[in-house]
């Protein structure tokens, strides 16, 4: 083992158990992740060092072999309830009795799990965030082209109106939560095949606020949020495609301490009878007569902005494509728009009157 545990704790190799414990306490206070000056890596390192040096048997092994052996010796009598994160006032479990007991002993070799446990669970309030929600919204073709604002109404966890989210019955006195000591979190022990894991969970007594009113709000029972309807303004950007999702941060369920999840809006775009989308271009067709094709004309073309006039030059072939610049779909979250492509189809008459036939017969091409 490369780490010098004595160096980590800043003690002499000859230090006695009392000195080691004292050094550990001081450093643990200093680097506790709950503190502004905290450093989770340093804290883990200190912890690991104390796991070994704070235990006579393990320290002996370490001194002799430079490492310890799992399973050799119990780690201080099976009191995994010691709460390294009691935090807040007084750093909880470090009483006079010296019941310092981080039960990470089994996890010495499981750095990754240890790491992810810290990374995922120890951040303040992560578990308290409300749920993400998903809703569906159908818009029409033109709304997708230009973007649109819609109001939707959702049934979700919203701020309790009775207590304005505080969880306290209006007028009630507020005290520090005795269950978590004001930190808002408690440690839960999970038993797994890899040993005991300690994970932080939101204190259910105070819902993570660290405070407890004399009288809980009668409507939300202290949670600060209740189920209810909320009107939410949804801004759909121009250029959105059918099946795309728009994220609205902070509009999911309200969780503990006012932390809301996110809202994901799944957008459906209805088909249009005139317009077909291809990327950011819009494809349309226009039918012209043989006469228009031969002699040229001006025809009216429907665009998403309304009808415009398109000049058909004489001698236009069937299936000729005309490009209407900038009449297409808005580029999503970018400037500019695609084009509208108009495919002109020349309708050849299927039958002629006698008079028409005479005229056509006079044509020399
Ligand atoms: Zn509490
Ligand atoms: Zn309430």
What SS3 class is residue 354? Answer: helix
Which domain-ending residue is among 74, 102, 117? Answer: 74
Determine the pLDDT at residue 92: 30
Distances (CA, A) of 23 to 11, 108, 154: 7, 21, 54
Ligand 2 centroid to 171 CA: how many Å? 12
Interval 257-267: pLDDT, tens:
778 999 999 99
Tokens of 333: 């979250």
Determine the pLDDT at residue 179: 92
Q: If we measure between CA atoms, which residue out of 154, 175, 152, 172 comes closest to residue 163?
A: 172
* Residue 238 and residue 340 share a domain: no
The verdict on residue 285 lying in a domain is: yes
Is the pLDDT higher at 108 or at 331? 331
Ligand 1 centroid to 216 CA: how many Å? 13
* Residue 281 and residue 225 share a domain: no
The yes-or-no verdict on residue 360 having pLDDT over 70 is yes
* Residue 337 and residue 298 share a domain: yes
Looking at all shown ligands, the one closest to residue 207's CA atom is 1
The verdict on residue 81 lying in a domain is: no
Looking at all shown ligands, the one closest to residue 161's CA atom is 2
* Residue 251 and residue 163 share a domain: yes
CA distance 206 to 208: 5
Ligand 2 centroid to 216 CA: how many Å? 8
| Residues bordering ligand 2, an ion, CB closer than 5 Å | 160, 162-163, 217, 219-220
Determine the pLDDT at residue 68: 62
The verdict on residue 79 lying in a domain is: no
* Residue 249 and residue 285 share a domain: no
Supply the CATH number for residue 63's domain: 1.10.287.110
For the chain, percent of residues with pLDDT exceeding 90? 51
Q: If we measure between CA atoms, which residue out of 241, 251, 240 comes closest to residue 151?
A: 251
Which domain-ending residue is among 54, 74, 94? Answer: 74
**pLDDT band, very low/low/confident/very high, at 66 (cuts 50, 70, 90):** confident
Determine the pLDDT at residue 87: 31
Average pLDDT over residues 252-280: 93
Q: Which domain holds residue 220?
A: 133-269
Determine the pLDDT at residue 272: 96
Is the pLDDT higher at 115 or at 52? 52
* Residue 53 and residue 179 share a domain: no
Bridge partners (DSSP) listed for residue 154? 230
CA distance 83 to 140: 56
Q: Residue 135, by phi and psi: left (phi above 0), alpha (psi -120 to 50) or beta? A: beta
Determine the pLDDT at residue 107: 36
Determine the pLDDT at residue 303: 97
Is the pLDDT higher at 67 or at 234? 234
**pLDDT band, very low/low/confident/very high, at 98 (cuts 50, 70, 90):** very low
Q: Count Cβ atoms below 10 Å from residue 305 Cβ, excluding itself.
A: 11
Average pLDDT over residues 316-321: 98
Tokens of 36: 């502004």
Looking at all shown ligands, the one closest to residue 175's CA atom is 1
Tokens of 20: 């080691």
Tokens of 315: 């001698």
* Sign for the pseudo-dihedral over CA of 219, 258, 121, 200: negative
Question: Could you tell me whether strands 263-269 and 245-248 are parallel, antiparallel, or unpaired per DSSP bridges?
Answer: antiparallel
Ligand 2 centroid to 170 CA: how many Å? 9
Ligand 2 centroid to 100 CA: how many Å? 38
Average pLDDT over residues 235-246: 96
Cβ atoms 337, 324 nearer than 8 A:
no
Looking at all shown ligands, the one closest to residue 215's CA atom is 2
Average pLDDT, the chain: 81
Average pLDDT over residues 191-220: 84
Ligand 2 centroid to 167 CA: how many Å? 5
* Residue 144 and residue 264 share a domain: yes
What SS3 class is residue 356? Answer: helix
The verdict on residue 123 lying in a domain is: no
The verdict on residue 355 lying in a domain is: yes
Looking at all shown ligands, the one closest to residue 159's CA atom is 2
Bridge partners (DSSP) listed for residue 25? none
Interval 126-150: pLDDT, tens:
457 899 999 999 999 999 999 999 9
Tokens of 82: 């010691």
The verdict on residue 102 lying in a domain is: no
**pLDDT band, very low/low/confident/very high, at 324 (cuts 50, 70, 90):** very high
The domain total for the chain is: 3
Bridge partners (DSSP) listed for residue 213? 174
Cβ atoms 240, 265 nearer than 8 A:
no
Average pLDDT over residues 68-90: 37
CA distance 282 to 274: 10
Determine the pLDDT at residue 28: 78
Q: Residue 76, by phi and psi: left (phi above 0), alpha (psi -120 to 50) or beta? A: left
Ligand 2 centroid to 254 CA: how many Å? 13
Ligand 2 centroid to 158 CA: how many Å? 10
Ligand 1 centroid to 83 CA: how many Å? 14
What SS3 class is residue 43? Answer: helix
Average pLDDT over residues 290-314: 97
Determine the pLDDT at residue 2: 58
């Amino acid at each position: 083992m490369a780490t010098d545990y004595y160096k980590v704790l800043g003690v002499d190799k000859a230090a006695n158990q009392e000195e080691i414990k004292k050094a550990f306490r001081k450093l643990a206070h200093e680097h506790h992740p709950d503190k502004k000056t905290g450093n989770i890596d340093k804290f883990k390192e200190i912890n690991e060092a104390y796991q070994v040096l704070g235990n006579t048997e393990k320290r002996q092994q370490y001194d002799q072999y430079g490492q310890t052996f799992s399973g050799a010796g119990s780690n201080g009598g099976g009191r995994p309830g010691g709460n390294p994160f009691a935090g807040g006032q007084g750093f909880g479990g470090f009483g006079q009795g010296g019941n310092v007991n981080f039960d990470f002993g089994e996890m010495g070799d499981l750095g990754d799990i240890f790491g992810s446990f810290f990374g995922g669970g120890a951040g303040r309030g992560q578990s308290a965030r409300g749920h993400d929600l998903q809703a569906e919204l159908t818009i029409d073709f033109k709304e997708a082209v230009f973007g649109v604002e819609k109001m939707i109404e959702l049934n979700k966890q919203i701020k309790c109106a009775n207590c304005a989210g505080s969880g306290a019955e209006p007028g009630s006195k507020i005290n520090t939560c005795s269950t978590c000591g004001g930190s808002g979190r408690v440690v839960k022990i999970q038993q797994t095949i890899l040993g005991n894991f300690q994970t932080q969970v939101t204190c259910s007594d105070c819902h993570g606020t660290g405070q407890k009113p004399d009288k809980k709000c009668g409507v939300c029972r202290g949670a600060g949020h209740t189920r209810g309807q909320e009107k939410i303004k949804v801004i759909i950007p121009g250029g959105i495609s059918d099946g795309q999702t728009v994220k609205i941060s902070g509009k999911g369920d309200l969780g503990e301490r006012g932390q809301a999840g996110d809202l994901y809006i799944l957008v459906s775009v209805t088909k249009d009878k005139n317009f077909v989308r291809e990327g950011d271009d819009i494809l349309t067709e226009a039918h012209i007569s043989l006469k228009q094709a031969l002699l040229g004309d001006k025809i009216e073309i429907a665009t998403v902005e309304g009808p415009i006039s398109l000049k058909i030059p004489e001698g236009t072939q069937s299936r000729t494509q005309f490009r209407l610049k900038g009449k297409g779909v808005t580029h999503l979250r970018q400037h500019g728009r695609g084009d509208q492509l108009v495919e002109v189809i020349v309708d050849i008459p299927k039958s002629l009157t006698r008079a028409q036939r005479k005229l056509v017969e006079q044509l020399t091409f």
